[in-house]
Chains A and B, each alone.
Chain A
Amino acid sequence: SQTIHQWPATLVQPVGSPLSLECTVEGTSNPNLYWYRQAAGRGLQLLFYSVGIGQISSEVPQNLSASRPQDRQFILSSKKLLLSDSGFYLCAWNTDRGTEAFFGQGTRLTVV
């Protein structure tokens, strides 16, 4: 069966520090991968999605970047965190043709 792993679960980082959140999927190949952010009291904002290795689409201009070095690995990064980067980050995957997205358990990022 397919599983998605996302870590760390919680993270507290100072302003200006770098960020690396990792997401891996098991049990499937060539998944579509997504990074979402959920700010406090707000809905889900799609940040990046990827349909293959090295293929990244950005939905909003921001302080973050994403990479997909391997088929089932999706990394969210920042060189210098801002206070506004605080939030709940969710990784998700699905396959082609409109199947539902499966979500990781999320990472709570607090920038102080």
Chain B
Amino acid sequence: AQSVTQPDIHITVSEGASLELRCNYSYGATPYLFWYVQSPGQGLQLLLKYFSGDTLVQGIKGFEAEFKRSQSSFNLRKPSVHWSDAAEYFCAVGDNYGQNFVFGPGTRLSVLP
């Protein structure tokens, strides 16, 4: 079974600074990888996904993530953080049957003005 770790529980950055949220996964086959964002009291919104092909994927709201098979990582990045990016971010891995998603514990992002 697959698993996901997000080493950082809480990250604080200043507005305008760059951001990188870490995600490591464990899965025996080629993974399907996702990043979701959750605002307080809301459901989850998909930021981006990786299925195959180019290992650098672009998402919504200026986010991107890079799949590194050798490191079993799928880190999320943004060059300049906005105050509205403050939220909880979840990395997820799905199996290739699309029937089992596992989420990481989440990283809470705070943005300082």
**Do A and B come from the same complex?**
yes
Residues of A within 8 A of B (CB): 6, 32, 34, 36, 42-44, 46, 49, 51, 88, 90, 92, 94-106, 108
Chain B residues within 8 Å of A46, by CB:
100-103
Which of A43, A100, A106, A108 meets B104, CB within 8 Å?
A43
Contact B97 A104 (CB under 8 A): no
Judging by beta carbons under 8 Å apart, are B43 and A96 in contact? no
CA distance A88 to B39 in the complex (A): 13
Number of A-B contacts (CB under 8 A): 66
- In the complex, what residues of A have CB within 8 A of residue B90's CB? 43-44
Q: Summarize A's interface: helix, strand, loop or mixed.
A: strand
| A-side contacts of B97, CB under 8 Å | 96-98
The size bracket of the interface on B is: 20 to 34
Q: How far is the CB of A21 from chain B (nearest CB, A)?
A: 14
Which of B34, B51, B99, B102 is close to A96, meaning CB atoms less than 8 Å apart?
Answer: B99
CB distance from B7 to the nearest CB of A (A): 13
Known: A32-B98, A96-B97. 4 other contacts (CB 8 A): A44-B90, A49-B100, A92-B44, A102-B46
Decide: B98 and A105 in contact? CB cutoff 8 A. Answer: no
Instruction: Please indicate which of the listed interface residues A42, A44, A101, A103 has the most CB atoms of chain B within 10 Å of its own CB.
Output: A44
Assembly CA distance A94 to B51 (angstroms): 15
Contacts of A104 in B (CB 8 A): 43
Assembly CA distance A46 to B1 (angstroms): 13
Contact between chains at A106 and B46 (CB < 8 Å): no
For the complex, give the distance between the alpha carbons of A21 and B54 in Å.
Answer: 40
Chain A residues with Cβ below 8 Å from B101 are: 34, 46, 92, 94, 101
